[in-house]
Structure 1
Amino acid sequence: MPSKLFGSTLSTTSSSSSTSSASSSDSDLSSDSSVSSYRPTMGSSSTRRPIASVEVLRCLRCARAVETTSTDDVASMGMVRIAHNLYYCQRCAKMVGYKLTD
């Protein structure tokens, strides 16, 4: 019953043919390493990371959502950061007694 391993067929009945096939598949992999290291580019702008990304801030208590960019101040959007990636809207922050910094 032949099986396929790395693009070459192996015979399960004979161990000598499986070792020769395995060694040929190893050489196939080493010759393909230049192909796998090739990274196509679509222009110089595709390799640059974006300066700002869009984030959705959601209130932990009432689920009010606000879309901001990563460079915006969250307080100007009406949200209060209580922990890493956890926010209250200003209304809920007042209700739970969270101290607002103005």
Structure 2
Amino acid sequence: MSTRPPKTHYASSSSTDSDSSSPSSSDTDLSIRASMDVQPVASVEVLRCLRCHRHVEATSTDDPASTGMIRVGFNLYYCQKKI
């Protein structure tokens, strides 16, 4: 029967005499991460007509009317094409 290795606990060390005027690496990482989160993101959506099942791809910043679709509800569209 095999035996399991003993559990090892690691303690984190911290320095108490650090210079407060220079940012720590974790502060720098947080500021970089925060600046990356601020950028707007446009996602691609597929708009599908309820009548004829025609579909168009549009970004989330596009107006559905510019793609030839009329929004009639949440994620519900009709196209302006005559059947």
TM-score normalised according to structure 1 size: 0.43
Misfit runs of 4+, over 6 Å: none
- In the aligned structure 1, how far is the partner of 2:53 from the partner of 2:38? 34
Q: Which residue of 2 aligns with 1:71?
A: 61
Mind listing any 5+ residue stretches in structure 1 that lack a counterpart?
1-40, 96-102
Deviations 1:14-36 (A, max 9, x none): xxxxxxxxxxxxxxxxxxxxxxx
Instruction: Point out the structure with max Rg over C-alpha.
Output: 1
**Residue 44 of structure 2 is aligned with which of 54, 58, 83?**
54
| Alignment: residue pair count | 62
TM-score normalised according to structure 2 size: 0.52
- In the aligned structure 2, how far is the partner of 1:49 from the partner of 1:66? 26
| 1:53 Cα offset (Å) | 1.0
Mind listing any 5+ residue stretches in structure 2 that lack a counterpart?
1-29
- In the aligned structure 1, how far is the partner of 2:59 from the partner of 2:52? 21
How much identity, in percent, do the aligned residues show?
Answer: 62
Cα-Cα RMSD: 3.3
| 1:51 Cα offset (Å) | 2.5
More helix by share: 1
> Greater relative contact order: 1 or 2 (C-alpha under 8 angstroms, separation 6 or more)?
2
